[in-house]
Structure 1
Amino acid sequence: MNDSTSLDHALATSEDSIAAYLTKSPDFFERHAEVLTGVRLTSVHGHRAVSLQERQAEMLRDKIKGLEQRIMEMMRNSSENAAIAQKIHRWSCDLAAVVEARDLPHAITEGLRQVFDVPEAAIRVWDVAAPFSGSLFTMGVSSDVKAFASSLTLPFCGPNLGFEPVGWLSRADSVQSLALLPLRTGPVGAASPAFGMLVLGSPDPLRFDATMGTEFLMRIAEQASAALVRMRPAARTLSAV
């Protein structure tokens, strides 16, 4: 070990010893208050020298500023969430007001486009009651899509990778991001097989990002599923009794 390395080691050991001593002796600066007044540190906002008290004040102001920014962000998120919740409520009320069950698929997609400003929306349902068989909203669904919908326990959000349901959209070529929502009886994550799928698309690649939260999309899926139960065979049988 050369002299320079030995000196560095000695200084580090000395600093550690001083730090340990001060930690164990909180009354040191009470006995030697003049030491505090003589300590000069570099300001975090420049290279000028400031007292320990000034440095602490600067650090406290920076901490307060950071907390204020976090509070503002939380307020913005809260306001945005409240606005989305209000839109979901409005959309749900519109669905409840639909008289004819046959009009529900159109009401669901049109409402999403108007209320939530979703550029593209389409829906397909299967295993419906006989009067609805052959309707446009039941066509063009492969067995693979049905199996895929049943496998989803959360809405899928991400880039347009050429999923079959994208073809249901009127302007499929312009879609850069999409959300696929399984429709089933009960919660989205239930074990029951899906009886439909709702696809939302956007030319904005970040509109339905893979990292986005899906809480509100889950509510939309569950509301749509609850409305569409009227088209299921069991629902029609019960209503006829």
Structure 2
Amino acid sequence: MSERAREDRADGAEDERQVAIYLIANPDFLVRHPEVLAVIDVPHRLPPGVCSLVEYQVQRLRRQLTAERKRLAHLIARAREYEAFVNRLHALTLKLLAIDQSEQLCHLLRETLMRTFRADAILLKLFPCQRPNTTISDPLAVSFRDFIDRRRALCGPLNGKQAQTLFGEAGSVIQSAAIIPLQTDEHWGVIAIGNTDPECFSPEMDTEIFDRLGELLSQKLRSLPFGQCEGHV
């Protein structure tokens, strides 16, 4: 053992001795600081493989504490993410109020949706409202007619056929999407936001932000059509 190692070992032993002296002089330390018990091991000198009830309870509380900490961290992260989306949606609303040209609308949606949702592909499409006794011929319109009636956004993974129906050639790499319905007085349609990550848009996602986005754009489209913005972006 080197001289440095012996010195470190001696210093460690002295630190332990000082801790022991302090605990002996302050026997109520763990009573005043119960949080220490959650992170230290307290042996009970039982036979190997045998756990005292106190030790079992401490271990269980530690596991619960760890799980709660992870859950809290997850909730905080989701809350921050939601707050960021709300702020971006508010910023988009303000910009939409000032737009009066289809080209501006197209540019704004492309830039905002790609940045906000880290999209790899976007579809913007409107269809005329179906008249009585008419047949829908557009494959995309046929695929999403039932979806439009539900008036709620839908998130989840896509198979190859669904992805190509939505995104054309770009659909070959798209694994998940958020599909948002649009509804005006004379048109209905969809905004589809695609991502190559199959877990980016999951069925468990809260769709409130997407629903609000759909309502906001539907209202804007009552006075300003998509025009050149339709199709794959």
> TM-score w.r.t. structure 2 length?
0.59
Residue type at the aligned position of 1:100: Q
Structure 1: how far apart are the matches of 2:75 and 2:108? Answer: 33
Deviation string for 1:138-165 (max 9, x for gaps)?
xx77652563453333223231442488
Map of 1:77 onto structure 2? 78
**Identity %, equivalent residues:** 22
Structure 1: how far apart are the matches of 2:196 and 2:79? Answer: 27
| Range moving further from structure 2, 214-223 or 151-160 | 151-160
1:111 aligned counterpart, secondary structure: helix
- Using the TM superposition, give the Cα deviation of residue 168 of structure 1 relative to its aligned residue in structure 2, in angstroms: 4.9
| Range moving further from structure 2, 144-153 or 111-120 | 144-153
> TM-score w.r.t. structure 1 length?
0.57
Larger relative contact order (Cα-Cα within 8 Å, sequence gap ≥ 6): 2
Gapped regions of structure 2 (runs ≥ 5): 1-42, 130-137, 226-233
| Range moving further from structure 2, 212-221 or 95-104 | 95-104
RMSD of equivalent CA atoms: 3.4
Change over 3 Å in CA distance of 1:164–1:73 after alignment to 2: closer
Gapped regions of structure 1 (runs ≥ 5): 1-41, 129-139, 186-191, 233-241
Change over 3 Å in CA distance of 1:143–1:166 after alignment to 2: closer
Structure 2: how far apart are the matches of 1:155 and 1:116? Answer: 14
Map of 1:88 onto structure 2? 89
Please state if 1:151 is matched with 2:149: yes
Map of 2:215 onto structure 1? 222
1:195 aligned counterpart, secondary structure: strand
Please state if 1:162 is matched with 2:161: yes
Structure 2: how far apart are the matches of 1:195 and 1:164? Answer: 20
1:99 aligned counterpart, secondary structure: coil
- Using the TM superposition, give the Cα deviation of residue 193 of structure 1 relative to its aligned residue in structure 2, in angstroms: 8.6
Change over 3 Å in CA distance of 1:193–1:213 after alignment to 2: farther
Q: Which structure's CA Rg is the greater one?
A: 1
1:119 and 1:201 in contact (8 A); partners too = yes
Tell me the number of residue pairs that the alignment of Structure 1 and Structure 2 aligns. Answer: 172
Map of 1:196 onto structure 2? 189
